[in-house]
Amino acid sequence: MRRTAGKLADGREIIYYDDTPDAPPRDAVDTRDLPPSQPLSEVRRDPLTDEWVAMAAHRQTRTYKPPADLCPLCPSTPDKPTEIPEPSYDVAVFENRFPSFAQGVPDLPSTVEGMPMVARAPGRGRCEVVCFTSDHNSSFGELPAWRVRTVVDVWAERTTALGALPGVEQVFPFENRGEEIGVTLHHPHGQIYGYPFVTPKTERMLSVAAAYREEHGRPLMGDILAAERAAGTRVVASGGHWTAFVPAAARWPVEVHLVPHRQVPDLPALTEEERDDFAALYLTVLHRLDGLYRRPLPYIAAWHQAPVRTGRDLAWLHLEVFSVLRTADKLKYLAGSESGMGVWVNDATPEQIAERLRG
């Protein structure tokens, strides 16, 4: 894989990752007249839950559902420059033009005016866009296995790079797919967030993992994986190094976890063989997800990996893929119980979900 870094018209970084042997040099210039990026992100700590909330009002002006011929993630043409100056690309990563977190945000007072119990801080981190292919009409599940393998390497490299930035405490690669999820750009792409704090879900998972290890002397995810593989009723597919299963307490109407058989804290820790095996298994899972309702499934694919500085001996890397679609034409709404109290009600059992996906 060849890596080429450059700059966009407003100073943001763009990186090309080429996996085709005859890929041309990546030296195109961004010809757009863009003002310098000036994100004003901040975070505030909710005094009732002790959780950080991000504020990024500048994102209100971000690009929203443009027509296909004006897609900002497609390659540039002489009359239509985009976020990617080259006329073609394999995989491209660039700093988000409308980031939730960024390195250059200004300092702020340590508390909200008149509210000394509400801590406040700059939203210092980084947000990147990962374009999986230059083909606007494709999808992650339609990528060849070798391209998925390239994307895994890109996720791993960017995890290391973002984790080394000042203020970043956790790196989160993810993909949103489908209008039902809230996607505003249809080109196949994902994102990577470098958070300036450890996310609430990760904090909770590490706390539970620590308590389990204290009581049993073993990693929680390791025991879950062994039990799921032994039972088999919720296993969707498996390979030599990974297993995909519907968790026994699944929240979402469609939910699959892809878990490596070896405890590793994050993507950079995976071996070459583990990365190869993931690429093949993930494509199998995505094909089954799209076959569930005989239509492209809207989903979120979320990587759970260790924070940069804490809990690295407790975390167990895994990918969670879930969908809000409970039938071919009905959505699962996060209504009173889920949104108000955080108590989930699933309309199907995990065993039913897994059986349908296996079929």
- The residue ranges of every structural domain in the chain are 2-197, 201-358
Average pLDDT score over the chain: 94
Give me the mean pLDDT over the 270-282 stretch: 98
Greater model confidence, 38 or 172? 172
Residues known to be catalytic: 189
pLDDT of 120 strictly over 60: yes
Give me the mean pLDDT over the 311-316 stretch: 98
Calculate ∠ Cα 33-34-39, nearest 5°. Answer: 175
CB atoms < 10 A from the CB of 311, how many?
19
Q: What is the distance, to the nearest Å, from the Cα of residue 305 to the centroid of all Cα atoms in its chain? A: 11
Cβ atoms of 127 and 102 closer than 8 Å:
yes
Q: pLDDT band for position 184 (50/70/90)? A: confident
CB atoms < 10 A from the CB of 68, how many?
10
pLDDT at site 104: 86
pLDDT of 260 strictly over 70: yes
Give me the mean pLDDT over the 94-115 stretch: 94
Say if residue 187 carries a ligand binding annotation.
yes
pLDDT at site 37: 78
Among 263-277, 284-298, 320-334, which is the least confidently predicted range?
320-334
Q: If you classify domain 2-197 with CATH, what class do you get?
A: alpha beta
Q: What is the distance, to the nearest Å, from the Cα of residue 342 to the centroid of all Cα atoms in its chain? A: 22
CA pair distance 344, 325, nearest whole angstrom: 15
Say if residue 131 carries a ligand binding annotation.
no
Same fold, 2-197 and 201-358: yes
The proportion of the chain whose per-residue pLDDT surpasses 90, expressed as a percent, equals: 87
pLDDT of 116 strictly over 90: yes
pLDDT at site 276: 98
pLDDT at site 8: 97
pLDDT at site 111: 96
Q: What is the pLDDT of residues 26-85, one digit of tens each?
A: 999 999 999 887 788 999 999 999 999 999 876 655 555 567 678 999 999 999 999 999
pLDDT at site 63: 59
Greater model confidence, 62 or 92? 92
Among 142-146, 172-176, 338-342, which is the least confidently predicted range?
338-342
CATH number for the domain formed by residue range(s) 201-358: 3.30.428.10
Cβ atoms of 235 and 216 closer than 8 Å:
no
Say if residue 74 carries a ligand binding annotation.
yes
Say if residue 136 carries a ligand binding annotation.
yes
pLDDT at site 59: 60
Contacts of the segment 84-88: beta carbons below 8 A, 24+ positions apart: 84/14, 84/131, 84/134, 85/6, 85/8, 85/14, 85/28, 85/29, 85/30, 85/31, 86/16, 86/26, 86/28, 87/28, 88/24, 88/134
Strand partners, 257: 245, 320
